[in-house]
Structure 1
Amino acid sequence: MADEVQRQIDALGPWFHNLHLPSGHQTVPDHFLGGDFPSFKWEQIRAHIPEDLAGWRVLDVGCNAGFYSFELAKRGASVVALDMEPLYLDQAQWAARQFGLQDRVEFRQQQVYDLARSNEQFDLVWFMGVFYHLRYPLLALDILSRRTQRMMMFQTLSLPGEEVYPDTEDHPITQREPLLDPGWPKMSFIEHRFSNDRTNWWVPNHAGIEAMLRSSGLRVTARPAEEIYVCAPNAETAAWKWDTQYDAVFPRGAVPNEAQETAAALHAVEAGA
């Protein structure tokens, strides 16, 4: 039986997530990132997620082989896991059966942009390791913000530095020097490849990450580790409340602003309880 499990692991390779299977097998024990990936990431952030997720609906964007989906499902959540890569979905569905979690995780071959045509809402949106791979990242963040009822776990590749420029409220059109400051919110565009990956499109700085989160209607509540941000809904800062560009993407009334504001208010009450 053990040899059969290893045969199936090999047949489904190559793997990016090192899953520790109930059989004792690991899917990629010698990970090129070093260490036990993504277990070491999970150890950094697990304390920021409720231990009991019973009744929670979770969205895992870019689920890969399902590591985070499984950890959240083990805490009682009902998980919708998205990925566009058929190999990853095959791996995740096979692994879900190994863990006995196939009834708690729904896998979909879907892009994040497809959610703009949906009314679905999620208590927790897991958005790690995807943002910088997207050609239209801020659009994706806006879409996911409007689907987030309680919290979002956000992670992206980022530029070095923690600087934040103190005054980004407004400047005359002739005063552009502040835009060159290391702390001005910005993203570097990757035209060709970065880390030998042509899907690495953007690398934001810390100030840019926080500014984009705020602009999409989210507030940072914690930073468990480098490049990782825990967020809660904050519709008051959302540009989609006044910028009509989003009407071309979001069906009118699909996710009313009032519903988002109510969710944010409920979250604030729960956080203060």
Structure 2
Amino acid sequence: MKLNKDDWDRGDKRYLREIAELSFDNVRWSRKRILETRDFLSPWNHNIELPHKIFTAFCDDYYPSHKEMMRIINHQLQGDFKGKRILDIGCLEGYFSAECALQGATVVGVEGKLINIKKCEFIKSVLGIKNVKFVRDDAMKITKSKYGSFDVVLALGILYHLDNPLRFLSNLSKLCDGFILIDTHVALRDQTTLGESWKPHLSELREFRFGNRTYLGRSYREFPSDATQLSKDLSTTASLKNDQSAWLTEDSLITLLRDVGFEQISKIVFPEREDVWWSDIGADGRVLLLAVKKRAPFKSRIHRKGSRRKRR
């Protein structure tokens, strides 16, 4: 029997209802139960080691890019996560949130997709993590008044799914007391494919005007204009609602970060031979940026304020 669209929609809605009804409170996790729940929630994008030598993504190693980002966070914190508040925006399936919490930080992971938030709750329950809280919310609605202040903000793989990066980063600037780590695609001058085969639906280079500021980039089509919210809810690695997102050029993104109040922006680079997402920007169009909110004050011992040297 051939299924029509209505049949598929009913099946998808039933699947989402079953996901929504999942509860992991006070569960005693056996190997069998972990495997059944992991498989029900599959496929996975984060590879997380669970008890009984079970991995979420069916391979027994961490992804190199994920490992590299954790090393950067660890280095910035000088290996001391205790007492730090970390905000993980678009936390997907919870790897970074869980890792930071297990290192000793107090973590808030924010994720908009129902399927993803249930994966996060599953990870939290199976690993028995107490100092992480997962919240289902829209990244564009994250504010200091709602969530408080944080020492570290993670915006990993989220910025290129948003249609107003200025408002998003302006909100983060207000709640970030330390640094923000950003992993994102950027618009290139000559851009047709990314990686080996992905051809993202990108516009010509254009100007984006946010408030009274203008930045250069490309529009990226997340969904067809007639996409239903159901199809968006099932697309776990796409935008939450918007049909198009804004990909800024690298220079415009750095300018924007300065405009919203980050005093120092560093680009973390890698040789092309290394197997990470940022080793070849020309091929992958992806950058890893570290933005520091406040630099330590500097007082020159040569150029003293108000002093003038007499010419001889």
> Considering the TM-score relative to the shorter chain, is it more than 0.5?
yes
Q: Distance in 2 between matches of 1:57 and 1:149?
A: 10
Structure 1 residue 111 corresponds to structure 2 residue 138: yes
2:263 counterpart (194, 207, 219): 219
Q: 1:8 is matched with which residue: 37, 51, 58?
A: 37
CA contact (8 A) 1:45 1:224 kept: no
Cα deviation code 1:195-230 (max 9, x no counterpart): x98736122221112111111111345333431111
CA distance in 1, matches of 2:110, 2:46: 15
Contact 1:185 1:206 in 2 (8 A): no
Which is greater in Rg?
A: 2
SS in 1 for 2:166: helix
Structure 1 CA distance, aligned partners of 2:123 and 2:238? Answer: 28
TM-score by length of structure 1 reads: 0.68
**Structure 2: how far apart are the matches of 1:198 and 1:56?**
30
Asked whether the equivalents of residues 83 and 110 of structure 1 are also in contact (C-alpha less than 8 Å), the reply is yes
Aligned: 1:49 with 2:49 = no
- Structure 1 residue 192 displacement after superposition: 5.8
User: Equivalent residue of 1:18, what SS?
Assistant: coil
Q: Equivalents in 2 of 1:230, 1:68: separation in Å?
A: 16
Q: Which residue of 2 aligns with 1:176?
A: none
Instruction: Confirm whether residue 186 of structure 1 aligns to residue 220 of structure 2.
Output: no
Of 23, 34, 47 in structure 1, the residue corresponding to residue 52 of structure 2 is: 23
* Preserved contact between residue 112 and residue 139 of structure 2 (Cα < 8 Å): no
RMSD after superposition: 3.0
Name the CA shift for 1:61/1:108 in 2 (closer, same or farther; >3 Å).
same
Amino acid at match of 2:220: I
In the TM superposition, what is the alpha-carbon distance from 1:53 to its structure 2 partner? 1.4
Gaps of 5+ in 1: 162-178, 234-263
Residues 40-86 of structure 1 deviation map (CA, whole Å, 9 limit, x = unaligned): 44356345332111111111101111111112112211001101111
CA distance in 1, matches of 2:160, 2:187: 11
Q: What SS class does the counterpart of residue 201 from structure 1 fall into?
A: strand
How many Å separate the matches in 1 of 2:223 and 2:64? 23
Instruction: Name the residue aligned to 2:176.
Output: 148
Name the residue aligned to 1:122.
Answer: 150
Tell whether 2:288 aligns with 1:228: yes
Q: Answer with 61-70 or 48-57: which moved more.
A: 48-57
Which consecutive residues of structure 2, in runs of 5 or more, have no partner in the other structure?
1-29, 190-206, 208-213, 225-234, 270-277, 279-286, 298-312
TM-score calculated relative to the size of structure 2: 0.60
